[in-house]
Amino acid sequence: MARLIRPLRKTLPLLSYSSSSCSKNLGLKLHHQPHHISLLNPNLSLQSPRTYVSEMRKFAFDGNLLRLLRNEIQYELENSPLNQPVTKFDSFTVDERPGEQWICLQRKFGDEDIKVEATMFDGAVCSSITAGSPAPVAGRDDVELHISLIVNISKEGSGNMLEIVCSAWTEEIEIDKVLIQKQENVLAKPYPGPIFKDLDDELQNSLYEFLEARGINDELAVFLHHYMKDKDKTEFIRWMETVKSFVEKK
């Protein structure tokens, strides 16, 4: 059944501490001796007032930042606990790529090796755009998020690789570009191929069917959008945990 050609989418509280004369408490005989002792860090006991204040401000700001990070992490985990990353979809294995902005899916199809690289959400469009409309904001009902896909299909011994650049919308895959790449000795500026929308309608439909036979279909688009919502939260919490560990490190 012929596939309908889709229209192009354009896409901090502070703490202060002081003490009586440290010369009296420590038994030191200094003529110009600071009269402040840090109760948080004994190594700061002999400092100029300016250094003392600077250190206390650092402790206060660091403490406030850590408090906010812990609260935010706790809120995120309690509000919606993290899901275990999926490692398989249909015939594809899924590599989460922790800490990165993309994931990788791979499978075999006959004598072909297929690799799909998918970004996290990298754009959005409004379902109904009018003059003066505000910029799309993720989370709104009238906003559709965008994921970029690069599909690489190679055959052993061919020397060439078919590269198909796609957009994964909420419920469908849209082809943007089709290229031929060299597996070795990659050209600096390979011919990018024609504008996909300028191709004959029947040829466009045939390329969609070519991808669908290999599992690059609308079901994959739905899966990726669910997966990336989880990954977006996971990476956010991982980022907060990393910042917290950095600030805590002495």
Residue, of 42 and 144, whose pLDDT is higher: 144
Give the pLDDT confidence score for residue 192 in this predicted structure.
Answer: 85
Give the pLDDT confidence score for residue 9 in this predicted structure.
62
Q: How far apart are the first and last CA of the chain?
A: 65
Q: Is residue 232 part of a domain?
A: yes
- Encode pLDDT of 76-96 as tens digits: 999 888 888 899 999 999 999
Residue 46, pLDDT score? 55
The answer, yes or no, to whether residue 119 has pLDDT greater than 70, is yes
pLDDT at 20 over 70: no
> Considering only 22-36, 117-131, 193-207, 226-240, which range has the smallest mean pLDDT?
22-36
Domain assignment present for residue 46? The answer is no
Mean pLDDT of all residues in 154-163: 91
Residue 82 amino acid letter? L
35-39, 42-46, 114-118, 121-125: lowest mean pLDDT where? 35-39
pLDDT of residue 203: 97
pLDDT for res 18:
39
Q: How many domains does the chain have?
A: 1
pLDDT at residue 210 is higher than 70: yes
The residue ranking higher by pLDDT, 44 or 165, is 165
Mean pLDDT of 168-181: 95
Give residue 174's pLDDT.
97
Question: What secondary structure does DSSP assign to 102-160, as a single string?
Answer: EEEEEEEETTEEEEEEEES--EEEESS--TTPPPP-TT-TTEEEEEEEEEEEEETTT-E
Is residue 44 domain-resident? no
**What confidence tens digit (pLDDT) does each residue in 123-151 have?**
999 876 544 555 555 555 678 999 999 99
Report d(CA 82, CA 72) in Å as an integer.
14
Residue 45 belongs to some domain of the structure: no
- Span 228-238, mean pLDDT? 95
Which CATH number is 180's domain given? 3.10.280.10
What's the whole-number average pLDDT of the chain?
81
H helix intervals, the chain: 22-26, 49-79, 201-212, 218-248
Range of the domain at 170: 88-129+141-239
> Across residues 196-211, what is the average pLDDT?
97
In this structure, is the dihedral angle defined by the CA atoms of residues 117, 207, 92 and 114, taken in order, positive or negative? negative
Residue 26 within any structural domain of the chain? no
Asked if residue 103 has pLDDT above 50, the reply is yes
pTM: 0.72
Residue with more model confidence, 27 or 144: 144
Does the residue 192 lie in any domain?
yes
